[in-house]
């Protein structure tokens, strides 16, 4: 696959270890959900290197010093429903005060095209650094549409975080939105005829919420 400047694959032993367990068909809902949160936290640590900061004065037990802190209210988390909900707590671990918006989309099983059914975003999101969450980047249709929606609302700083990506989806998002940084925990082989990632892990939403 072509290398895109706005795409980062986070190749880390801890992430690879957790994804191996995540893929296993015998991994139960509770453990699956915990693993998604843990992987997201590891990804957030890397992907938020450029989070807005400010300089503050701190008094230690020995002296005063200047220290960098994250600007309050500068980060917004936007999961793509429903599977993206499983990643929210993973980001909140590092940014507990981050506002949360929601974009609801489902995939038409015949056309494989995304259909929007819900959107609720925090006030002032256009001034925040927005991280869009979805465990699976398959065809890239939902991600592209969600990014376009955020841009329409005035968002200028957008990141996309996916646990698993397919080359087809990565290509679509990277080329359609070169100004959006994409972070993927692992890059899989391809999509099958039904638009599922191979080897993948099945339906992330069903496995997160125990609906199958």
206 noted as active-site residue: yes
Out of 23, 41, 93, 206, the active site residue is: 206
CB distance 182 to 133 below 8 Å? no
Distance in angstroms (rounded) separating the CA atoms of residues 14 and 125: 32
Annotation says 111 is catalytic: yes
Catalytic residue among 29, 53, 97, 111: 111
Among 8, 23, 41, 107, which one carries the catalytic annotation? 107
Active site residue 11: no
The token pair at 130 is: 């927005």
The contacts found for 16-19 with CB under 8 angstroms, 24 or more apart, are: 16/186, 18/42, 19/163, 19/164, 19/185, 19/186
The reply to whether 134 belongs to the active site is no
Distance CA 89, CA 80 (A): 14
Residues labelled as active-site residues: 107, 111, 203, 206
């Amino acid at each position: 696959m072509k290398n895109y400047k706005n795409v980062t694959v986070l190749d880390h032993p801890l992430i690879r270890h957790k994804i191996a367990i995540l893929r296993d068909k015998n991994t139960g809902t509770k453990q699956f959900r915990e693993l998604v949160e843990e992987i997201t936290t590891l990804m957030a640590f890397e992907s938020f290197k450029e989070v807005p900061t400010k300089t503050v004065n701190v008094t230690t037990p020995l002296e005063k010093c200047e220290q960098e802190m994250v600007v309050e209210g500068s980060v917004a988390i936007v999961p793509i429903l429903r599977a993206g909900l499983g990643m929210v707590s993973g980001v909140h671990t590092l940014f507990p005060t981050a506002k949360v918006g929601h974009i609801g989309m489902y995939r038409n099983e015949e056309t494989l095209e995304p259909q929007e059914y819900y959107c609720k975003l925090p006030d002032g999101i256009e001034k925040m650094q927005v991280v869009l969450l979805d465990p699976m980047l398959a065809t890239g249709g939902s991600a592209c549409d969600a990014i376009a929606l955020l841009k329409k609302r005035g968002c200028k700083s957008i990141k996309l975080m996916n646990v698993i990506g397919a080359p087809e989806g990565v290509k679509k998002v990277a080329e359609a939105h070169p100004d959006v940084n994409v972070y993927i925990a692992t890059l899989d082989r391809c999509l099958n005829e039904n638009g599922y990632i191979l080897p993948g892990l099945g339906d992330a939403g069903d496995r997160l919420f125990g609906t199958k």
